[in-house]
Amino acid sequence: MIVDDSAVIRGMMARWLTEAGGFDIVATASNGRMAVDAVERSKPEIILLDIEMPEVDGLAALPLILKAHPSAKVIVISTLTQRNAEISLKCLSLGAVDYLAKPESARAANAAADFKRDLVHKLRALSETRSRQARTPAPALPVVKAPQVPVVAPRAGSTRPQCFLIGSSTGGPRAVERVLMDMKAALPGIPVLIVQHMPPMFTAVFADHLAALLAMPVREAKDGEPVVPGTVLVAPGGRHMGIASSAGKPVIRLNDGPPENFCRPAVDVLFREAAAVFGASTLAAVLTGMGADGTQGARHIVNAGGTVVAQDEASSIVWGMPGSIVKAGLAHDILPLESIGRSLKGLITGSSK
């Protein structure tokens, strides 16, 4: 179902999805009130929900839509403004699974082409996840352990983590929140670096949101700033974030290099450079997200003797990124979202409590 007050936008998205194949447009609506009425009749699997609409906007409509049809996957769509970034993150906290930045009319063909590509890729990933979940459940995947590094369990002689990295995409903001809240007691003792696939402006709002939630320093990373315990740094949208050693101390390095895995920031960049600086004391978690970003970087961490944890399929919105880690044999543990923070806290503090 496509919900947007612009008939032009509704028609454009419907045409793109029809041309892409594999999608049926079961309903359209021009405002939130009409969407709530339509969702009860059409029962769409995926809903594209514009934020700015007359009568009932996307933020007000979202909880009503999910109440009427709880299994729907909602992607919110908005233009790139700070206010819309804040509203989009609020929608994620209310149950939306992802967001798309709508191109402004002034930014012609390239922006529209990028929006089309992102739209089709996100919907394809969500639909594939739903197809897998609809099948008869397969036996649980075994825990995959890389033989050259210790499993996730504190033990004598193991290297205590000195840097914690998170990579995530679709469904990531809520997953990141949960992991950090569950390991909050360990955060003062370690620097935390996050690459969440988000457009510019969204990452600053996300950092502010985490700062309020955790009641500790969280901000967008700045080039050259030190990587120190007790601080959470988020990669700025549109820029790669890595780590370098300066005068023997780790510092942030931002760059505008080409996208990797169609992403900038890319998880691979952070993982690769962190492994070079922190070696066996690198700890990383790969959470829900589409694609395979993070897999090559995780290989660097494993080869350096560090530890990689992947979110399991059942608790992931899209099991692309963590699934790729698991299939490559790079996950030291595969955990449901509700167990990741507690496990990581134990590794960092050396305590299972």
In this structure, the answer to whether residues 107 and 222 fall within a common structural domain is no
Residue 197 known to be catalytic:
yes
In this structure, the answer to whether residues 124 and 272 fall within a common structural domain is no
- Residue-wise pLDDT for 300-326, tens only, equals 999 999 999 999 999 999 999 999 999
Q: Answer yes or no: is 6 within a domain.
A: yes
Q: Answer yes or no: is 27 within a domain.
A: yes
- Residue-wise pLDDT for 163-178, tens only, equals 999 999 999 999 999 9
Q: Answer yes or no: is 157 within a domain.
A: no
In this structure, the answer to whether residues 119 and 206 fall within a common structural domain is no
Domains in the chain, number = 2
Cis preceding linkage at 265, omega within 30: yes
Instruction: Identify the band that residue 152 occupies on the pLDDT scale cut at 50, 70 and 90.
Output: very low
Q: Write the CATH number for 272.
A: 3.40.50.180
Burial class (CB in 10 A: 0-12, 13-18, 19+), 217: middle
Mean pLDDT to the nearest integer, 212-231: 97
In this structure, the answer to whether residues 129 and 200 fall within a common structural domain is no
- Residue-wise pLDDT for 112-127, tens only, equals 888 899 999 999 998 8
In this structure, the answer to whether residues 129 and 18 fall within a common structural domain is yes
Which residue among the candidates 88, 169, 316, 343 is catalytic per the annotation? 169
Residue 312 known to be catalytic:
no
In this structure, the answer to whether residues 72 and 172 fall within a common structural domain is no
Q: Answer yes or no: is 143 within a domain.
A: no
Task: Identify which of 91, 39, 95, 41 has the alpha carbon closest to the alpha carbon of residue 69.
Answer: 39
Tokens at 39, concatenated: 């969702």
In this structure, the answer to whether residues 174 and 123 fall within a common structural domain is no
Instruction: Identify the band that residue 213 occupies on the pLDDT scale cut at 50, 70 and 90.
Output: very high
Residue 300 known to be catalytic:
no
Which residue among the candidates 98, 293, 312, 333 is catalytic per the annotation? 293
Which residue among the candidates 197, 209, 240, 300 is catalytic per the annotation? 197
In this structure, the answer to whether residues 180 and 121 fall within a common structural domain is no
The span from the CA of 219 to the CA of 316, in Å, is 25
Instruction: Identify the band that residue 146 occupies on the pLDDT scale cut at 50, 70 and 90.
Output: very low
Range of the domain at 51: 2-134
pLDDT exceeds cutoff 70 at 334: yes
The span from the CA of 235 to the CA of 248, in Å, is 22
The span from the CA of 204 to the CA of 197, in Å, is 12
In this structure, the answer to whether residues 196 and 264 fall within a common structural domain is yes
Q: List, in sequence order, the alpha helices (H) in 279-336.
A: 295-303, 321-327
- Residue-wise pLDDT for 86-95, tens only, equals 999 999 999 9
pLDDT exceeds cutoff 80 at 142: no
Q: Answer yes or no: is 156 within a domain.
A: no
